[in-house]
Amino acid sequence: MPQTHHHPDVERILLDEQQIREKVTELGEQIAADYADEPPILVGVLKGAVMVMADLARSIPLDVEMDWMAVSSYGSGTKSSGVVRILKDLSADIDGRRVLIVEDIIDSGLTLKWLLSNLRSRGPKSVEICTLLRKPEAARVEIDVKYVGFDIPNEFVIGYGLDFSEAYRNLPYVGVLKRSVYED
C-alpha cells in the first residue's frame, strides 16, 4: 500500500508501514526460533527504539521480558562521540540472562559499542543486537549485529521512533528529512 501523502518536512518515504511490519514480523520469527529454549530479556534503548520494541515484542511468541536503558552520548549535534552517560539504567539484573539489545538505528556504532561492553560486564549469558536500521558507517566498526532489518543509505531519517530535535517520532513510516529543515 503506497503512501500517497506524508508530512511536509519529509523528502520521501524510505520504508512504509507495510514494509516495516513485514520486516519486524520476520525478525520476530527468527528471534523466536533462535531463543526457543530460553527467551531473552529485550533491552530497548530509549527513546528511538520504542516503536520497534513494541512491534518486535508482539511478534515474538515467547515469554520475553522488556526493559529499557536511556543513554546520552556526548557529541556535536548529529555525530556521536562514543562517550556515554547512563540517564536511566535497567531495572532488571541481567546476570546469567540472555540479553537482546533492541535498537532503532546504528550509525557510527560508537554508542552501541559502549553499551555492549557495559552490559557484558554484568555477567549475562549472552548479548546480541537487533536493529531496525543500519547506515553504511556501521560497517566500519567491528560489532557483530545478529539481526538487521534494513541497510539504508547515509541520509538523515526520521519517524517510527526516530527524531530530529524530538520531533517526528510518531510518524508511522521511516522517511528522509528535507535538508531545508536542518540547513539554512
64 makes contact, choosing from ligand XMP, Mg ion, none, with CB < 5 to 8 Å by partner type, with none
- Identify residues 67-106 at the interface with ligand XMP (CB under 6 A): 73, 80, 104-106
How many whole angstroms separate alpha carbon 141 and alpha carbon 169? 27
Quick one: DSSP state of residue 178? P
Nearest-approach distance from CB 159 to ligand XMP, in angstroms = 8
Nearest-approach distance from CB 163 to Mg ion, in angstroms = 5
Q: Write down the catalytic residue from 63, 107, 163, 184.
A: 107
Which residue from 65, 16, 30 is spatially nearest to 44, judged by alpha carbons?
Answer: 65
Among 94, 108, 131, 160, binds ligand XMP (CB under 6 A): 108
Among 11, 17, 67, 163, binds ligand XMP (CB under 6 A): 163
20 makes contact, choosing from ligand XMP, Mg ion, none, with CB < 5 to 8 Å by partner type, with none
**Cβ atoms within 10 Å, residue 57:** 18
Query: Is 107 a known active-site residue?
Result: yes
94: alpha, beta or left? (left if phi > 0; alpha if psi -120 to 50): alpha
Beta strands across the sheet bearing 174-177: 10-15, 174-177, 157-158
Binding mask 35-54 for ligand XMP (x = CB under 6 A): -------------x------
E strand or H helix at 115, and its extent?
A: helix 110-120
**Strands 126-134 and 147-151, bridge-based pairing:** parallel
Q: What residues does 175 pair with on adjacent strands? A: 13, 158
- Identify residues 137-176 at the interface with Mg ion (CB under 5 A): 163
**Strands 157-158 and 174-177, bridge-based pairing:** antiparallel
Stretch that binds ligand XMP, among 6-14, 23-31, 87-95, 157-165 (CB under 6 A): 157-165
Give the binding-site size for Mg ion (rule: CB under 5 A). Answer: 1
What residues line the site for ligand XMP (CB under 6 A)? 48, 73, 80, 104-112, 156-158, 162-164
What residues line the site for Mg ion (CB under 5 A)? 163
